[in-house]
Every structure is written in C-alpha cells, then in structure tokens.
Amino acid sequence: MSVESRYLEAREMYRAVGVDTDRALEELKGVKISMHCWQGDDVNGFDSKGPLTGGIQTTGNYPGKARNPEELMADIDEALRLIPGTHKINLHASYAIFEEGEWADRDKLEPKHFRRWVEFAKERGLGLDFNPTFFSHRLSEDATLSSENEEIRRFWVEHGKACLRISEYFAEELGQPCAMNIWIPDGFKDIPGDRLAPRARLKKSLDEILAEPYDKEKVYVTVESKVFGIGMESMTVGSHEFYMNYAAKNGVMCLLDTGHFHPTEMVSDKLSSMLLFYDKVALHVSRPVRWDSDHVVLFDDETREIAKEIVRGGTDRFVIALDFFDASINRVAAWVTGMRDMIKALLYAELLPNARMAELQDKRNFTELMVVSEEMKTMPFGDVWNYYLHEMGVPENWFGEVVRYENEVLSKRG
C-alpha cells in the first residue's frame, strides 16, 4: 500500500474519534525547533582549544566529530536533510568564526564574527538563536556574572551585551526573532558561607546587560535555571526561583531545561503555570537519565507530555530548543533522532482528541479519560507521520543515509 492510501485510511480512523489529521499536519508545518549546534562537536566551539568546563560534560569518544566550521556546517546539512520542516540553528558564542589571524575575546565579539553563520542560515531559510558562552574560558573558572571579582564580573557583563548586539543582528538579517539564552555555571560544591551576595551580584549583572538597548520584538532574552551542576552540587546561583522572579519582574522569559530540576519533578507540569504569567515560555528539551545527563531526546512519555502542553497551550507561545550532547554515538544520528522525535511528539499531541479529553476531565469521568488516552496510543499514528515525511520530502528510513555519510565523510576525519 502506498503512503497516501495508508494515510487516507488513517485519516478516516482519526476522523471517527473526532481528530482532523489534515489540520494537525498544517499546524505542525508552522512549528520551528531550534537545533543546537553543539551536539556536532561535543560542545567544543571554535574560539579556544581548552576543555569543556562549567560543570557540564560529554562522555564518549565516537569518531568523526566536527573539528571546524566547515565540518560542523556539513554535518548540520546532513542532519537537516533528514528532518521535516524548516527550523532554526542554536549557536553559542564560542562558535564564532574568525578570519585567518583574527581573534576576539568573548567581551569583544561582534556581529562580523558570525557573518558566515548568517550566510549559512540565509541560504537555507533557517533562523538563528544565540547563547552567550559563560564557560570553557580562563575567566569562568570560579564564577562569571556572580563573581566577587569586579573585573571578571564586568568582563562577563560585556560579553552579555556583545551577545545582545549579535542576537539583534541575527534577527535583522534573517527577518525573524532570535532567542538569546543566558545560562551561567556559577555555584558552589559545598555548603556556601553566603548565598545572598552572589545572587545579588547576578541580579545586578543581568540588569547591566539588559540596559544595553535592544528591540524586544526581535530578541527574546531567556534565562535558564539549573538545580545543580558537576562541582556545584550544593547551590547554583541561577536557581529556578531566582530566574523565575527575575524574568517576571524584568519582562524577559524563563527557559526551562528538562534536565535542570530534581529527577522526580516534571517540566511538563510546570508549563501551564508559566503560561498564566508569561506571554511565552522557552524550553531546552533534553533527556535526563537519573541526572542532568543530556541524553538524546526520544519519543518517550515525558517528551509527549511536554508536547501535549505545547499543543494545548498554543505552539506560538513556546520557544522550543533542544539541548543534549552525546559523544558516544554518531552525532548526526543523535540530531536526527532528537529533532524527529520532538516533531513526532508534537504531531502525536496534535492528533489527540484534546477538547474531548478536557471535557471528560470536567465531567470528572476519569475512567473514560484514561481509556481514551490509552486507545489513542495504538491508532495508526505511524501512517500519518510517514505521510508527513513524504509531504515534506524527507525519507522515512533515514539511518542508511547517515551510515553512508559516516563511511564517506565522518570516518575520514582524524
């Protein structure tokens, strides 16, 4: 049976339970996911040769990681060929591209250092998002925006401001908003002697960064909290309470990373509360396995639960990015799996009888609600998904393509 006839049959089955598959596919086409560039090279970047610091870690030594901008761009291209839709690329400041003999420290970065990324995005119709890089740098060893050392704190404030200017440049060049996310690794391994002063300094630093004039329609500033990091087990300066209050009072957005809460806390349950107090909510969808391990996003329960909240709350109210870095598997396959599974989860949520499910809840008919939600799991979802891939010109079976790319390109890298 052809993809089309399988789809037509599935469409009838969904129609019978009150779900319009054509509408769902239309909705899905409009959703952009920001694909993080850092899966391609284990969060190394191009601006220094030093190690990855900041209490985040990649594990594994799978061959073929990108070693320079050309390789990273080629790998991104290979991944995008296998992902339905037109999306965004999420860059870190450490991915600045310098001309021969040129170099600028983080506080001196300028739009021109990202010109090649803008060209890359323009040629492909992609958007760009941005992140100042407050780690993997000689001045980030102790603390950054919360530093007690005024010179170091100022350096990172200047970095934040430089990144705001670069974000605005992205938005202007590409004709779509750029989300600029602030995450810092500041925190303490053991019980602090003072929790207030570092947080007060972080607050002051953020105020100073945001004093840089920028167009709020073009740049969405987001602040990302975290419960702990490696070497910051006892306290992070940028905790959830800190940023949630900061964002609410200063008109910026909160970014929730699915790995940045206690393991039994679910980000999916937090989103509706955020929607009641913010216009938009930003996400780093990741997969924490027992801790903030940054495994590849899968089509699993929590990803589907998050997707339901996005679809029910309105896809236009979310700024969705992925954040994982697995160095133990083929990195292109990691991107393709994560992106396709996020999109798949959104389609799954679009194909639920959401209004009927809300109504069952209001009638307190929890038996039928459970039954409906379970029955939906074995509907011919795959037939709708495959039709979407077909419509978007992306192969159903993609793994062979990545294996070929690995043999022809990745395996030749030293």
Residues known to be catalytic:
183, 224, 226, 257, 260, 284, 292, 294, 323
Which of 257, 292, 294, 309 is close enough to bind Zn ion by CB under 5 A? Answer: 257
User: Residue 318 and residue 178: Cα distance in Å, rounded?
Assistant: 13
* Closer residue to Zn ion (CB): 309 or 323: 323
* Closer residue to Zn ion (CB): 257 or 309: 257
DSSP per residue over 343-390, as a string? Answer: HHHHHHHHTS-HHHHHHHHHTT-HHHHHHHHHHHTTSSHHHHHHHHHH
Residue type, 67: R
Q: Which residue is nearest to ligand RNT (CB)?
A: 183
Q: Which two tokens stand for residue 110?
A: 């300028």
DSSP per residue over 45-113, as a string? Answer: -SS--S---SS-------S----SHHHHHHHHHHHHTTS-S--EEEEEGGG--PPTT----GGG--GGG
* Closer residue to ligand RNT (CB): 184 or 336: 184
User: Residue 35 and residue 21: Cα distance in Å, rounded?
Assistant: 26
3-state secondary structure of 23: helix
**Residue 176 Cβ vs Zn ion, minimum distance, rounded to whole Å:** 21
**Residue 212 Cβ vs Zn ion, minimum distance, rounded to whole Å:** 23
Name the segment binding Zn ion (CB under 5 A); options: 191-199, 295-303, 316-324, 380-388. 316-324
Residue 93 CB partners (closer than 8 Å, separation 6+): 47, 106, 109, 130, 131, 132, 133, 159, 162, 163, 166
Name the segment binding Zn ion (CB under 5 A); options: 3-11, 79-87, 317-325, 358-366. 317-325
Binding-site partner at residue 308 among Zn ion, ligand RNT, none, CB < 5 to 8 Å by type: none
Binding-site partner at residue 43 among Zn ion, ligand RNT, none, CB < 5 to 8 Å by type: ligand RNT
Name the segment binding Zn ion (CB under 5 A); options: 65-73, 239-247, 267-275, 282-290. 282-290
Residue type, 406: E
Q: How many residues does this entry show for the chain?
A: 414
**Residue 275 Cβ vs ligand RNT, minimum distance, rounded to whole Å:** 21
Name the segment binding Zn ion (CB under 5 A); options: 34-42, 194-202, 237-245, 255-263. 255-263
For position 284 contacting Zn ion by CB under 5 A, the verdict is: yes
Binding-site partner at residue 65 among Zn ion, ligand RNT, none, CB < 5 to 8 Å by type: none
Report the Cα 248 to chain-centroid distance in Å.
Answer: 21
User: Residue 40 and residue 34: Cα distance in Å, rounded?
Assistant: 14
Binding-site partner at residue 226 among Zn ion, ligand RNT, none, CB < 5 to 8 Å by type: ligand RNT
CB atoms within 10 A of CB 396: 11
**Residue 12 Cβ vs ligand RNT, minimum distance, rounded to whole Å:** 43
Measured CA angle at 189 (ends 185, 191), to 5 deg: 120
* Closer residue to Zn ion (CB): 129 or 257: 257
**Residue 36 Cβ vs ligand RNT, minimum distance, rounded to whole Å:** 7
Q: Which of 66, 64, 73, 61 is nearest to 44 (CA)?
A: 66
Give residues in contact with ligand RNT (CB under 6 A): 38, 43, 56, 131, 183, 224, 226, 257, 284, 292, 323
* Closer residue to Zn ion (CB): 158 or 323: 323
For position 323 contacting Zn ion by CB under 5 A, the verdict is: yes
Please, are residues 298 and 326 in contact by the beta-carbon 8 Å criterion?
no
**Residue 366 Cβ vs ligand RNT, minimum distance, rounded to whole Å:** 36
User: Residue 257 and residue 180: Cα distance in Å, rounded?
Assistant: 14
**Residue 244 Cβ vs Zn ion, minimum distance, rounded to whole Å:** 16
User: Residue 168 and residue 178: Cα distance in Å, rounded?
Assistant: 7
Pattern 131-170, Zn ion, x by CB under 5 A? ----------------------------------------
DSSP 231: T
* Closer residue to ligand RNT (CB): 281 or 384: 281
* Closer residue to ligand RNT (CB): 286 or 337: 286
Residue type, 123: E
For position 294 contacting Zn ion by CB under 5 A, the verdict is: no
Start-end of H helices in 185-318: 196-210, 240-250, 267-277, 301-313
**Residue 291 Cβ vs ligand RNT, minimum distance, rounded to whole Å:** 11
* Closer residue to Zn ion (CB): 56 or 66: 56
Task: Please give the residue ranges that form the binding site for Zn ion (CB under 5 A).
Answer: 257, 284, 323
